[in-house]
Structure 1
Amino acid sequence: MYSMLPEVGHFLQECPSSACNPLADGGIGSVICNHHNISVHGFLLHDPSDSPDTRRALFSLLGESPEGPRLGEFVGDARRQVWQHLWELRDGAGWRQVGPRERVVSAPEPALHPVVPDLPSSGVFPHREAARAVLEACVPFIPEAQAVLDLVDQCPEQAERGKFPVIAIEGLDATGKTTVTRSVSDSLKAVLLKSPPACISQWRNIFDDEPTIIRRAFYSLGNYIVASEIAKESTKSPVIVDRYWHSTATYAMATEVTGGLQHLPPAHHPIYQWPRDLLKPDLVLLLTVSPEERMRRIERRGMERTREEAELEANSIFRQKVEVSYQRMENPCCHVVDASPSREKVLQMVLSIIQNNCN
C-alpha cells in the first residue's frame, strides 16, 4: 500500500489506465495517519499485485505535482507486522528513502472519529469562502470550476429572504420528495426551486467524478446560488426548495465518517449547525419511508441514481448514517414526515405542518 499527500491525489483520480497501467487495478481511498503525534492526511492506494512497477509509476506520476510530494510505502513481513518506508523527491537527486523504516501500530480509538475535526474544511463547509477556496484551487485542472465561481460571485454575500415563507423539503431518493414538492408548491402557489440549481446542474456529472472534497465544494456553492434565488422569489410568493444545505451536509458526513453510527459526531455537535452566512429556511421537512418501501419504489421506477444514491441501496450502514445525520440537524431541525401513506394523506400532513409553523 502507498499513502500520498492530498495535493497529489487528483493526479491519481485523473490518471488514464492506458498511460499508468500499473495503477489501474489499485483502489484509492482517504487516509489519516498519526506520525510523531501529528495527523497526516492523504490518499491510500492499495496495490493487489505488489509489483515494483507500481512504485515506479507513482514516482513518475507524483513528479508532475507542483507541490513537494511525499510517499509512504507500507510493507508487511512474515511476522504479520506492517512497516512504513518514507520517500521524498529531492531536487536533482530523484526519489530517495527518508530515514529508517518505522513500524505501523494501532492507536486507541479516539473520543471523536479522526475526520470529524476536519469536516469544516473537507466537506461540511461552515461558510461560503471555505467551499470557494477549494474550487479556486481546482481551476487549473477543472475549467468548469471557474464558471461555478463566476456564478457564485454574482450572488450577494448575505442573501436575505423576503416576507413569504421558505420551506425546504429533504428526503432520501424514492421517498416521494419530487411528488410532494410539486404538490405543495401547487397548493401554496409557491415557487419551486432545486439544489443544485439548473444553472450549474450541467456540470454535475463532472464534479461527481471528482474527489469528495471537490464534489462537496461544488454542491455547497450550489446552495449559495439557490439562496440568492430564494431571496429574490420570497419577496413575491412562498418558496419550496427541493433539497438544500441539510442534504449536502448529511451525505458528506456519512461519506467521510467511516464505520458505524457510533462514529458520527454526537448530537448537538457544532457540525450540525446551519452555516452562518447561508439564507435559512423557515421550515425543513424530512420525508421518510421504510428501507423496504424505498427499494420497492426504486425497482418500480427503474430510476437513474447517483453514486451516493446507489450506495444507499447497497450499504445499510451508510443509509443509517445519512438518516441519523438528518435527525441531528439543528437550527433549523428537520420535521420528520412519514411518507408511506397515500400521496393525498402525505400532502395533507405536510400542509398542516407548514400551517402550524409558518404563520
Structure 2
Amino acid sequence: MPTVLQDMSKIAMFRSAEAACSVLEHDPRGREAVAIWHRLQVEAPTTQSTSPVLILEGADGVGKSTLARNLQQSLQALLLKTPPTELEHLRHHFDAADPQLRRAFYLLGNYVCAASLRQLEPTQPVLVDRFWPSSAAYALTYDFQCEHPEISRMPTDLADLLPFGRPVIFLVMTLPEEARSRRVRARPGAITSEEEALERHEAVRERLARAYSTLQLPEGQAMHFLDASGSEGDVLERALALVEAQVKNFHAMPVPLSVNWHYTRQCNYTCKFCFHTAKTSFFLPQTKEGMDEAKQCLRRLHWAGMQKLNFSGGEPFLHEKELAELCRFCKEELELQSVSIVSNGSKITEDWIRKNGTYVDILAISCDSFQEETNLKIGRGRGSHLQQLESIRKWCEEASIKFKVNTVVNALNVNEDMGSFIRQLKPVRWKVFQCLLLEGENAGEEALRNAQKLTVSSDDFKGFLARHSQIDCLVPEDNETMKDSYLILDEYMRFLNCTGGAKKPTESLRDVPVITALKGAGFDSKMFHTRLGVYDWTRQRAGCADGGDVEDLAGRARRLTPFRRTPCPLAARGNTLRSWGQVHIFAAAAAALAAAGLAAVVSNSRSSRILSAR
C-alpha cells in the first residue's frame, strides 16, 4: 500500500505545470519534455470569439476518433491531440515508465496543448482529443481509487491558459460496456493493462464514470455527457446540437486589459480622504516564496489579457526593492505594454529612477493642491511635497518616463485654480477625481478615515472642471465613472468589487483561476473604455508636453494593437484556417448559430450530411 507521503507526492504534481515539471526533471526524457514546454510557453493573451473549442473525452473505444473526424468535416475544424505533436515522440518512452512519470508527462501535455490553442486563429473551430479531464479521471481511477479534491479541480494555471474568451466545451462520450469493449478488441495492437481492467472489472468502470462526473472545471464551464450509441450520424447530430446550444448561450468575460494592484496598504502619508487605508500590513512579495507566487499570479493575469499593470498602495515605494524587481519582471519576462506606478512621491529617488526607469512607462504622482498649507491640511506630506513633485518631473523627463499627475477634488481644494502649475509641469495626463466615499475605508464605523466633510457635490466638481477646461490633458472622473471602471487587486491578490459602495473582495488569484475571480469583480468594461481607460500608455511621450489632447490620445489608443499575436507554428500542419462564419454544418445548426450572431454557410442538406455520416 502506498504511504501517505507517497500519495501526497503524487497529488502535488497535479497542482501546476511546474509541479509536473519537478517530477519529470528526474528523467532524461522528462527533462526534454520540460524544455519543450518552456520553449512553447505562449503568453500572448486571447481575443474574444464565438468560435468553439470542443474537448472530446471518454474511455477508449467510445468513438472519440470517429466523432472527431466527423466534427472536423462538419465544422471545418482544426484537430489537436494530447499529448500534442511537440511531445508525441516521447510518448512511447513514458507509456512504459513508472505511473508517476507517465502521469506527469500527460499532465504537462495538457499545458503544451493549451499553449498551442492560444496561438491559433481565434475564428477557427478547434477539436481536442483528450485533455486534462482524462489525466485527472484516470489518475483517480487507477492510482488513488478514491476522491481527491486537489486532483478533481483543474489547476489554476492550466485554467488560465485556456482561451476563455471563446466557448470551451467539454464533452464526455459514454457507451454501454459490451459495445465499448467490442470496439477496443477490434483495434489492431496490444491492449493496455488499464483497458483490460476497465473491461474486466465493473468497479473500475464505475470509478472512472464517477471520476469524470466529479471533476471541477473553471467558472462558466461544465462537463457535458454524450450518448455515443447508435450510428455515426446519430452521434454527430447529438454532438452538434450540444455545440449549438453552448455557443448560443456563451457570454465572454471581460478581458482584464488594465489592472491596478494595490500591493500594500501601508503608507507614510495620512490623506484624510484615502479610500485604500492601512487596514493590514500584509505584503505578499516580502519573501522569496511570496515573490514567486506574486509573479505567477501576474503571469496568469497576462495570459488572461492584461497588458497594463499599475502598482499602487498605500505607498508602493515603501518597498522599493520589491517594486523594482516586479517592474523588471513585468517588462522583461511578461513583456507588458505598460507598467505604471501611482505614488505620493515622497520616497522616490533619482537613483531609483536611474536604475529602474527603463522598466517603467508611466509614473503618476498624487498632488491635490499647489499650496503647501492645503496639502498639509489634507495630510499630503510635511511641507515639501511640491518641491519633490518638480524633481520627479525632471527625473521622468530624463528617463523618458511619462509623467502623470493625479488630483482628488475635495472641499479643501475645490476652489483652487491649478491651471498655470499644470501647464508648467506638462504631464501626459492630469487625472482629476471627485472625492469618493467607500464604506469601511473612509466612511462608516469600521473605517480608519472619515472623508464625509471633504466630499464635494457634482455641481462643485463640474465647476472645478470648467475652471480648467482649457487644460488639454485633463481627464475627469466623477464618482459614478470611478466606482466600477477599475480592476482593483488588493494585497491578497483579490479583486475588489465596489458596486455596492464598499470594497467586497473576490476569491484570491492565489486560489482560483482569473476567470473565477473576474466574475465577482463587478468590473464595468464599457465604462472603462468610456473614461478613456485605454490610451497611448507606452513610454513614448505624448499629451500636454507636446500639444496632444485627450482625443488624440484616445485615437492613438484605438490604433494600437492591444493583443500581441505570436507566430503560430501549428498553422502549417496542413489545415486551412477558415472563419467560423464559413463553417459547413447542418441546416438546423446553421439556423441556431445564426441566431447567436454567427453566419454559417450550409453546403449540403441535413439529410445528405446525415446519410453520408451513416
User: TM-score w.r.t. structure 2 length?
Assistant: 0.37
User: Contact 2:61–2:184 at 8 Å: present in 1 too?
Assistant: yes
Q: CA deviation at 1:153?
A: 0.4
2:84 aligned with 1:201: no
Residues 343/160 of structure 1: CA separation in 2 closer, same or farther (3 Å cut): farther
Find the residue that maps to 1:31 and give its secondary structure: coil
2:56 matched to which residue of 1?
169
User: Contact 1:169–1:242 at 8 Å: present in 2 too?
Assistant: yes
User: Contact 2:58–2:172 at 8 Å: present in 1 too?
Assistant: yes
Q: Which amino acid aligns with 2:12?
A: S
Residues 132/177 of structure 1: CA separation in 2 closer, same or farther (3 Å cut): same
For residues 264 and 355 of structure 1, the distance between their equivalents in structure 2, rounded to whole angstroms, comes to 33
Find the residue that maps to 1:193 and give its secondary structure: strand
Residues 192/338 of structure 1: CA separation in 2 closer, same or farther (3 Å cut): same
2:281 matched to which residue of 1?
none
User: Contact 1:191–1:233 at 8 Å: present in 2 too?
Assistant: no
Aligned partner of 1:145 among 30, 34, 37: 30
For residues 5 and 54 of structure 2, the distance between their equivalents in structure 1, rounded to whole angstroms, comes to 41
1:183 matched to which residue of 2?
70
2:20 matched to which residue of 1?
131
For residues 44 and 157 of structure 2, the distance between their equivalents in structure 1, rounded to whole angstroms, comes to 8
Q: In the TM superposition, what whole-angstrom CA distance separates every residue of 1:94-143 from its partner, at most 9, and x where no partner exists?
A: xxxxxxxxxxxxxxxxxxxxx4x555315xx12101101111122xxxx2
Residues 152/296 of structure 1: CA separation in 2 closer, same or farther (3 Å cut): same
Q: In the TM superposition, what whole-angstrom CA distance separates every residue of 1:33-66 from its partner, at most 9, and x where no partner exists?
A: xxxxxx454xxxxxxxxxxxxxxxxxxxxxxxxx
Q: CA deviation at 1:250?
A: 0.7
Q: In the TM superposition, what whole-angstrom CA distance separates every residue of 1:208-262 from its partner, at most 9, and x where no partner exists?
A: 222211111110111111112111124240111000000011111112224xxxx
For residues 346 and 353 of structure 1, the distance between their equivalents in structure 2, rounded to whole angstroms, comes to 11
Aligned partner of 2:108 among 203, 215, 221: 221
Q: Which amino acid aligns with 1:233?
A: L
Find the residue that maps to 1:321 and give its secondary structure: helix
2:2 matched to which residue of 1?
31
Q: Which amino acid aligns with 2:192?
A: T
Find the residue that maps to 1:222 and give its secondary structure: helix
Q: CA deviation at 1:206?
A: 1.1
1:341 matched to which residue of 2?
230
Counterpart mapping for 1:1-359 below 5 A: 31-32=2-3, 39-41=4-6, 115=7, 119-122=10-13, 125-138=14-27, 143-156=28-41, 160-162=45-47, 163=49, 164-258=51-145, 263-265=146-148, 269-278=149-158, 279-280=161-162, 282-331=168-217, 332-359=221-248
User: Contact 1:274–1:280 at 8 Å: present in 2 too?
Assistant: no
Find the residue that maps to 2:33 and give its secondary structure: helix
Residues 240/276 of structure 1: CA separation in 2 closer, same or farther (3 Å cut): same
For residues 161 and 195 of structure 1, the distance between their equivalents in structure 2, rounded to whole angstroms, comes to 21
For residues 196 and 204 of structure 2, the distance between their equivalents in structure 1, rounded to whole angstroms, comes to 11
For residues 303 and 311 of structure 1, the distance between their equivalents in structure 2, rounded to whole angstroms, comes to 17
Q: Which amino acid aligns with 1:31?
A: P
Higher strand share: 1
User: Contact 2:117–2:162 at 8 Å: present in 1 too?
Assistant: no
Residues 250/330 of structure 1: CA separation in 2 closer, same or farther (3 Å cut): same
User: Contact 1:157–1:277 at 8 Å: present in 2 too?
Assistant: no
For residues 37 and 188 of structure 2, the distance between their equivalents in structure 1, rounded to whole angstroms, comes to 34
Find the residue that maps to 2:128 and give its secondary structure: strand
Q: CA deviation at 1:295?
A: 1.7
Q: Which runs of 5+ in 2 are unaligned?
A: 249-614
For residues 126 and 158 of structure 1, the distance between their equivalents in structure 2, rounded to whole angstroms, comes to 20
User: TM-score w.r.t. structure 1 length?
Assistant: 0.61
Q: CA deviation at 1:169?
A: 0.5
Q: Which amino acid aligns with 1:121?
A: A
Aligned pair count reads 237
Find the residue that maps to 2:26 and give its secondary structure: helix
Q: In the TM superposition, what whole-angstrom CA distance separates every residue of 1:161-205 from its partner, at most 9, and x where no partner exists?
A: 553321101011110100101111211111100001122122212
Q: Which amino acid aligns with 2:243?
A: I
User: Contact 1:283–1:354 at 8 Å: present in 2 too?
Assistant: yes
Stretches (4+) displaced over 4 A: 157-162
Q: Which amino acid aligns with 2:151?
A: I
Largest Rg, 1 or 2: 2
Q: CA deviation at 1:310?
A: 3.0
Q: In the TM superposition, what whole-angstrom CA distance separates every residue of 1:238-288 from its partner, at most 9, and x where no partner exists?
A: 111000000011111112224xxxx334xxx35322221113371100000
For residues 294 and 128 of structure 1, the distance between their equivalents in structure 2, rounded to whole angstroms, comes to 33
User: Contact 2:118–2:162 at 8 Å: present in 1 too?
Assistant: no
Q: Which runs of 5+ in 1 are unaligned?
A: 1-29, 33-38, 42-114
User: Contact 2:138–2:208 at 8 Å: present in 1 too?
Assistant: yes
Find the residue that maps to 2:127 and give its secondary structure: strand
